[in-house]
Chains A and B, each alone.
Chain A
Amino acid sequence: MSEETLQITLTVNGEQVTRMVPVRQHLVDFVRMDLGLTGSHLGCEHGVCGACSLRVDGQVVRGCLMLAVQAHGAEVVTIEGLTDTGEIADLQEAFVNRNALQCGFCTPGMLMTCAELLAQAKLMDRAEIRAFLSGNYCRCTGFHAIVDAVETTLRKRLQT
């Protein structure tokens, strides 16, 4: 079977891009390989680890469980774009202060999911934060420091 391709036009981090892509290419491979945005990582490639998390039309999704062709017409935000807008600058600072990362492989995906948690602007206890982050694996920190960083940022945001 030959490789079928399709042209897609989408917005990535605010910029419109048009490319020919293989129909079987994952969205995360498209942003990494075709656009050079390698902040999104590829871990398990079957939707378990969360390292490839991306924001598509305002919602966090698995970049390995969505085809690039499915993002035609969509607004995609990667960790690079999210960092540039400053939306989670406070969270990123809290991650650094609390050592909420060691090897850093899971961190971009973790931040993408945390961004959605923070955007809900709803008070959550530690158990609820853990449940929200349950789809993102970290193999270094034991999650404690990550939950600390999220909790601190959430409380600060809700106070102001």
Chain B
Amino acid sequence: MKAPKFSYVRADSVEQAIQLLALHGDEARILAGGQSLMPTLNMRLSQPRLLIDINRLDVLAGISLHGNRVRIGALTRHAVVASSPIIVEHLPLIAEAMPHVGHVAVRNRGTFGGSIALADPAAEMPACILALDATLVLQSTAGRREVRADDYFHGLYETAQWPNELLVEVLIPVQQSTSVSVFMELARRHGDFAIAGIALQLVVERDIVADARLVYFASEDKPTLAHGARATIVGHRIDEMIANAAASALENDLSPMTNPQASSKMRLHLQRVLTRRALALAADRVRRA
């Protein structure tokens, strides 16, 4: 269908965008890449009064290294993230996840920040930044504030972000020499939304897992940090037995949603399969490191 009627402003500055957000709140929507917002408008699932187009705000785009953190501007296109040497070198988890994000035409327009701010439970980037313990920077007329990814995702399309706030950048700690990451997902067709997925970030010292962040997506209403699975692997060398224990622990970590694509039971099964595969691959990467 065609989008419903709305007003449209092409923002010339971040200040203008956040002033409009302050003025219109809930009734306004930020138009970034539009790869999720436009379908919801076309299907008339949402009817905002005002679209604030931030696509000309170049200050919000770009990837740079600041000390031990990578800054990714919210408006950075997926295609730019995918081909960035900084991402390949310092954030291999994101580099591994990127080919799974939509299709080429979607990656050319869709933005890193847009995917995170939308908080679709099946999206790859929210899971990755949670696994990487990232910090999100939100801006409003009241100023800037930082929110850790741990505290950002609240539920189905719900985040800690207020309607008057704009996500401006994401700060992500760089991969250490002891870090090992793995990203995997299962989808019916390449580029489709996942029906199960895992983003895994481990700290491995002398073959022993010193710390682990296992994030599961396309399961619950938001990306889930699995504490039980973590407890089974920390302090151990990764082998088949440990991987099986982590997979078993998922029973208490995850209560996947049922939808027409997959039942809760099937998703839990698939997440266990992915856990075993991802940990086997992680062990392989430890050996090669």
Bound CA–CA A130/B53 (angstroms): 33
Q: Which residues, 104 to 124 on A, are CB-close (under 8 Å) to B?
A: 113, 116-117
How many residues does chain B have at the interface if contact means C-beta atoms less than 8 Å apart?
33
B108 in the interface, Cβ–Cβ < 8 Å? yes
In the complex, whether B42 has a CB less than 8 A from a CB of chain A is: yes
A81 touches B (CB below 8 Å): no
In the assembly, what is the distance between CA of A45 and CA of B2, in Å? 8
On whether A24 and B190 interact (CB within 8 A), knowing A116-B104, A135-B102, the answer reads no
CA distance A96 to B99 in the complex (A): 30
Q: Total interface residues on A, using CB and 8 Å?
A: 35
Chain A residues with Cβ under 8 A from B43's Cβ?
A: 46
B191 at the interface (CB under 8 A from A): yes
Contact A132 B3 (CB under 8 A): no
Report how far A2 CA is from B55 CA in the complex, Å. 25
Determine whether the beta carbon of A53 is less than 8 Å from that of B4. no
| B-chain residues with CB within 8 Å of residue A25 when the two chains form the complex | 2
Query: Does B206 have its Cβ within 8 Å of any Cβ on chain A?
Result: no
Mark the stretch among B6-14, B130-138, B144-152 that contacts chain A.
B6-14
- Across the interface, A69 reaches (CB within 8 A) one of B2, B10, B39, B79, namely B10
Are B109 and A2 in touch, CB under 8 angstroms?
Answer: no
| B39-A65 in contact (CB<8A) | yes
A113 to B105 CA separation, bound complex (whole angstroms): 8
B163 contacts the other chain (CB 8 A): no
Q: Is B189 an interface residue (CB 8 A)?
A: yes
Taking CB atoms, residues of chain A closer than 8 Å to B10 are 69, 72
Interface string of B43-62 (1 = CB under 8 A from A): 10000010101010000000
Are A131 and B38 in contact, with the CB atoms below 8 A? no
Q: How far is the CB of B7 from chain A (nearest CB, A)?
A: 5
B261 to chain A, nearest CB (A): 14
**Contact A135-B38, Cβ < 8 Å, known A2-B5, A26-B2:** no
> When each residue 7-44 of chain A gets 1 if its CB lies under 8 Å from chain B and 0 otherwise, what string results?
00000000000000001111001000000000000000
A3 and B5 contacting across the interface, CB-CB below 8 Å:
yes
B-chain residues with CB within 8 Å of residue A132 when the two chains form the complex: 104
The residue in A2, A3, A26, A65 that gathers the most chain B C-beta atoms within 10 A of its C-beta is: A65
Q: In the complex the two chains form, is A65's CB within 8 Å of B8's CB?
A: no
- Identify A46's interface contact among B31, B42, B109, CB under 8 A: B42
Q: A45-B2, A61-B105, A135-B104 are known contacts; what are 15 more A-B pairs with Cβ within 8 Å?
A: A2-B5, A4-B8, A29-B2, A45-B42, A46-B38, A53-B105, A59-B109, A60-B105, A60-B108, A61-B108, A62-B106, A69-B8, A72-B10, A113-B104, A135-B105
Query: What 10 pairs between A and B have smallest CB-CB spacing?
Result: A135-B103, A23-B8, A46-B39, A65-B38, A134-B190, A59-B108, A24-B3, A134-B191, A1-B5, A131-B190
